[in-house]
Structure 1
């Protein structure tokens, strides 16, 4: 036990300093990004190199039902081998005892990475970059709402009650007073993040009532996806300590803007460490434009991965802080693809399409996959958009069904993310959409019941 503990990341060692570790949560993200796995006593974890779960965890829809994606062997729920990535070991500081979480990777019976495991999908895409001598770097932004406890799904979601005793106010973007309203929750978020070894680049109030944004420092795509995966859990736990819920729905409140997971991208040359988006004179390179062209060309088909639910498409509303097309522009927040102001060494491309409801591994993998195809193809993007892109035409799918139709036809995208992942993902998401169609909404009862 002592030798195993000495190899833990620094933050985990600091968290356990002088304490007795009770339990280890062995977890793996499924297609929606839910943590699946099992909790084991620390003494047992010290003796095990792996554990098993059935591959059916990747065939589950968000409701807990299954898509018929098992393949030619049938739905026999074959065991996968799950091995810990000890670099991901981190605290679970909200628990009543001393607990660590460890993310695991999935392998099949022949010890090959399971291709439809989301973390493996992202690793596969990152390796394609590295095979070309490129090192992708990302920086995600996480938007979410703090809302009142919602115990009845039939009830509309309401903003959280703030310190003042009044519901959170909307239209207060960047207000420090608005941030102070949620001070106790934010304090716990900071404390949990520190215990887990995560560095927050900043927290701001967004435009929605009770809507906040957390920015993370740039780094390795898999590491950052791990952090977003962990952050979603720790933010939920912090909110529940204060009689509130944290939600990462793309559009939880009808009258408010939606929540995005904007992803900033830059690519380094593996040999020189230089940003390939800038040349020796600090100018934009052909690779910079090729990456943008890849996003414009392939993102409509990849939208199924970054906008995975019916609710995701409610976010793409004109003039409501979300893009409606894949235009690009410098320092223009109305475009789907934005080039932020930066020094040449930090030149980057921001993909503003992904919703915060996406699986972070799949959202980042989809964006990188599109950029990769752009770099390979060497095409030029459309002309830079000047002015408000909300005035332009929408050029993205408007429903999961339409997005999945485009995804199914995108064979080149499938080769980048892995064809077997594409097969399973499409089946599960179509099953999920069919489940949604079985639900009759309040709008239908109000306007159709007595009028048609």
Structure 2
């Protein structure tokens, strides 16, 4: 602990934050109305407090006190982890405060509708400054550090799909819920008829609707790459240039949060549900492009001459395939996510396999060209996934395979029919994750148990309400549970 406390002087990226960063943020904060200090809870939902610029100065010294409530609630706000004498994480007993430490390297400012807001992502710590066992950002940071110890730097490209919808009322028009019983979501309407893939007409109309959001989205930096119209009505895809892994996860946390927050004031609603609860929806996915580079930035994923997968790249891909089923809970964490894997959706993976340039495979390999462009695209992810845990599971699987020098299996010609079946429901994914030694080692004993109990609470409430999962038929419960928050 340094002389100014556990706040700004304690970066989650050692060597990045220094006193000049503190001075720069202090100066910038004087020009904003509020500062959101936020973190991603176990579900990947951003939780924050809005601080006055004056209060931020104290946060830079000592961190921000937060209740641990978001760590113990499932997606429907049912208490799934004990805070009494049954608490298995000592720090949850009595619901005492934790501390969120701002990482000043994530500082950014948005201007929207005349209000300037500062944003800084933090990481959960215990009150004594030690790392919090239930922090998901911690997990990704540790995975990246382990890769660095092997001489590798993970690089990630984000490809995220979502739906743009029109709100039917100016004010809140849903019905409130309670602890473990969600109310009805706000009514929405489609913005177009869809089913004209990559239509310029539909894209231009969507861009017109999104125009007020471009100013804050530009704050994400130059890594914003493309926007395109997908198949579904109002379904868009946004991609980002390759980034370092922790920065990529932070980008997704901010992107999802900003799109949902800023769209609302313009009569719009953004949905990241894997299959939204309206007729004619096409599933949305989160495809993760990934590779490794040496610490000096040179390519290691592919042969320098042929551009085809190197032994390191082949081991990485084999690791992704091998761990896919047991990490499915981290890539597809909701009941709704598993509608994507039904037989009607041929481009969503249902089996653990890989192939070259085949979007029906779990892992699509793009190689044979420029060595620095070779990468693996894992198509398993749901847009609601916790970005830190999803990326951690991917990078850990790949690095494990590369370090163990796994021999790459043969590509499959029919990826929807060949390979180990992936979990078909959230219940299946919970069982696979719970029994996985690798998953426990990845996230730590406490977070492993917490995730199982949080997701089992969610699954049990779904079964009690609906009786069972029916692929392709989005239930009323799913619409209530995920419609507004996701």
TM-score range, shorter chain: 0.7 to 0.9
* 8 Å Cα contact 1:370-1:413 kept in structure 2: no
Answering whether residue 95 of structure 2 is matched by residue 77 of structure 1, we say yes
| Residues 363 and 157 (structure 1), Cα distance of their counterparts in 2 relative to 1, 3 Å cut | farther
Tell me by how many angstroms 1:127 deviates.
1.1
Tell me by how many angstroms 1:57 deviates.
2.4
Match of 1:240 in 2: 264
1:144 and 1:27 mapped to 2: Cα distance? 22
Tell me by how many angstroms 1:265 deviates.
0.8
Matches within 5 A, 1:136-147: 136-147=154-165
Tell me by how many angstroms 1:443 deviates.
10
| Residues 6 and 194 (structure 1), Cα distance of their counterparts in 2 relative to 1, 3 Å cut | farther
2:135 and 2:233 mapped to 1: Cα distance? 35
Tell me by how many angstroms 1:422 deviates.
1.2
**Which residue of 316, 322, 335 corresponds with 2:361?**
335
* 8 Å Cα contact 2:329-2:429 kept in structure 1: yes
Tell me by how many angstroms 1:5 deviates.
7.1
* 8 Å Cα contact 1:296-1:326 kept in structure 2: yes
Match of 2:399 in 1: 372
With normalisation by structure 1, the TM-score equals 0.87
Indicate the SS of the match to 1:402: helix
| Residues 429 and 373 (structure 1), Cα distance of their counterparts in 2 relative to 1, 3 Å cut | same
* 8 Å Cα contact 1:339-1:349 kept in structure 2: yes
Answering whether residue 251 of structure 2 is matched by residue 218 of structure 1, we say no
* 8 Å Cα contact 1:317-1:323 kept in structure 2: no
Match of 1:409 in 2: 435
* 8 Å Cα contact 1:306-1:354 kept in structure 2: yes
Match of 2:8 in 1: none
* 8 Å Cα contact 1:160-1:244 kept in structure 2: no
* 8 Å Cα contact 1:146-1:159 kept in structure 2: no
* 8 Å Cα contact 1:138-1:263 kept in structure 2: yes
2:297 and 2:20 mapped to 1: Cα distance? 35
Deviations 1:113-141 (A, max 9, x none): 11321111111111111111111110111
2:220 and 2:438 mapped to 1: Cα distance? 38
Match of 1:260 in 2: 285
* 8 Å Cα contact 2:351-2:415 kept in structure 1: yes
| Residues 369 and 349 (structure 1), Cα distance of their counterparts in 2 relative to 1, 3 Å cut | same
Matches within 5 A, 1:85-96: 85-94=103-112
**Which residue of 118, 127, 131 corresponds with 2:149?**
131
| Residues 95 and 4 (structure 1), Cα distance of their counterparts in 2 relative to 1, 3 Å cut | farther
Answering whether residue 462 of structure 2 is matched by residue 436 of structure 1, we say yes
Tell me by how many angstroms 1:251 deviates.
0.8
* 8 Å Cα contact 2:22-2:104 kept in structure 1: no
Work out the number of aligned pairs and report it. 429
Deviations 1:146-175 (A, max 9, x none): 1233755768986523xxxxxx12221111
2:419 and 2:186 mapped to 1: Cα distance? 31
Answering whether residue 48 of structure 2 is matched by residue 37 of structure 1, we say yes
- Structure 1, gaps ≥5 residues long: 162-167, 445-452
Tell me by how many angstroms 1:325 deviates.
1.6
Indicate the SS of the match to 1:364: helix
Answering whether residue 195 of structure 2 is matched by residue 175 of structure 1, we say no
- Structure 2, gaps ≥5 residues long: 1-18, 175-182, 471-486
* 8 Å Cα contact 2:412-2:418 kept in structure 1: no
When structure 1 is superposed on structure 2, of 111-120 and 215-224 the one drifting more is: 111-120
| Residues 256 and 380 (structure 1), Cα distance of their counterparts in 2 relative to 1, 3 Å cut | farther
Tell me by how many angstroms 1:328 deviates.
0.9
1:85 and 1:124 mapped to 2: Cα distance? 16
Match of 1:382 in 2: 409
Match of 1:345 in 2: 372
Matches within 5 A, 1:101-180: 101-149=119-167, 151-152=173-174, 160-161=190-191, 168-180=192-204
Indicate the SS of the match to 1:242: coil
Answering whether residue 342 of structure 2 is matched by residue 310 of structure 1, we say no
| Residues 116 and 301 (structure 1), Cα distance of their counterparts in 2 relative to 1, 3 Å cut | same
Tell me by how many angstroms 1:199 deviates.
3.4
**Which residue of 304, 308, 311 corresponds with 1:280?**
304
**Which residue of 231, 234, 238 corresponds with 2:255?**
231
* 8 Å Cα contact 1:94-1:192 kept in structure 2: yes
